[in-house]
A = this chain, B = another copy of it.
Amino acid sequence: MATKVQRRVTSADVAREAGVARSTVSYVLNRTPHQTIPDTTRQRVLDAAARLGYMPSAAARTLTRGRSDVVLCILRPWPLGSAAGALLAELTAAFGRQGLTLVTHIEDPSVRSLDNVWNEISPAAVLSYQPVDPEAERAMRAFGVQSVAVLFADHDGRAQVVRLDSRIGRMQAEHLIGAGHSRIGYAYPEFPSLQDFARPRLEGARAACSDAGLASPDVRTVALDAASAAAAIEHWRSLPLPVTGVCAYNDEVAQALIAGARLARVDIPGELAVIGADDIPAAALTYPPLTTIAIDHVAEARRIVETVTAAVAGDEPPAVADAADLFTIVTRESA
């Protein structure tokens, strides 16, 4: 009465079942180029695989090929908001359609070095939300990672850059300028690991002011509490040439500004216009509802996936289209 042990179905089993060699199974299942297989053989293999419920071992393939079909996305322990969540969901789906599995890892260098992580995954590509140490990138590529892409940076040497967040800052400032504001403030986030996102946005706002012949935005760091925001607002209003319109790093900072304005008894948008970024659901729930910049996550994900899959396949990356069309302004009562 021995219980049958559940051995894993291997390609050898399929080969035996189909009456061919293991290599043939491999060729058929991988559509290996330059290997023509008669349709009858092919069909026999496919049938046998289906009959046995064969599922190729990714671990073994990873060992021989030197890389898996996983794309590793590296995040820092910053506050993961709904905007990031939405993009990740789109990315995961888009990579999935290409046969690649996206997983994300929240990097904390004090706990676990990045080396350990990519060794553990052997990813086909690495996506990073922040600049990657050139030395680390070299190591990864030597290790077999086909593509190292940095999202959200203004410029970078060898790594590929996909989204230009400076456009966001520029659009924010241009909107305020177009509405007649001539002295712009910028509410910068407090959280340290957000700096890499915030800098390009701020630069964009700076450029817009400069183009319009205005002074550079007055930058204040604003924490996510009303008191901190109120202090910034009072500072802006106390300037010789007071700030009348402010770009917030994102919608959360903008929420803080709205709370701070109430505390400081400043009317929005009457005395101070505020514009956010990301268009999170809560942006429509504040009072007054928040004008903000919406991001087309679907288009963005598609673009990222195109670039990365090309690199993984060894092709030239497609021309990087202008990023401007990823962003739309959503006008609500705050600006």
Contacts and interface: CB of A to CB of B under 8 A. Distances in A.
Nearest to A254: B285
A262 B262 CA distance: 15
B101 A117 contact: yes
25 contacts: A56-B119, A59-B122, A62-B62, A62-B63, A63-B63, A68-B120, A80-B86, A80-B89, A92-B111, A93-B111, A96-B111, A101-B116, A101-B120, A103-B103, A103-B105, A103-B121, A104-B104, A226-B284, A252-B281, A258-B285, A259-B286, A262-B287, A282-B282, A286-B286, A287-B287
A69 B60 CA distance: 16
A208 B117 CA distance: 45
A82 B281 CA distance: 13
Number of copies of this chain that the complex holds: 2
Contact of A89 (B84, B102, B103, B106): B106
A225 B285 contact: yes
A224 interface: yes
Interface in A82-101: 82, 84-86, 88-89, 92-93, 96-97, 101
Contacts of A55: 115, 119
A92 B93 CA distance: 23
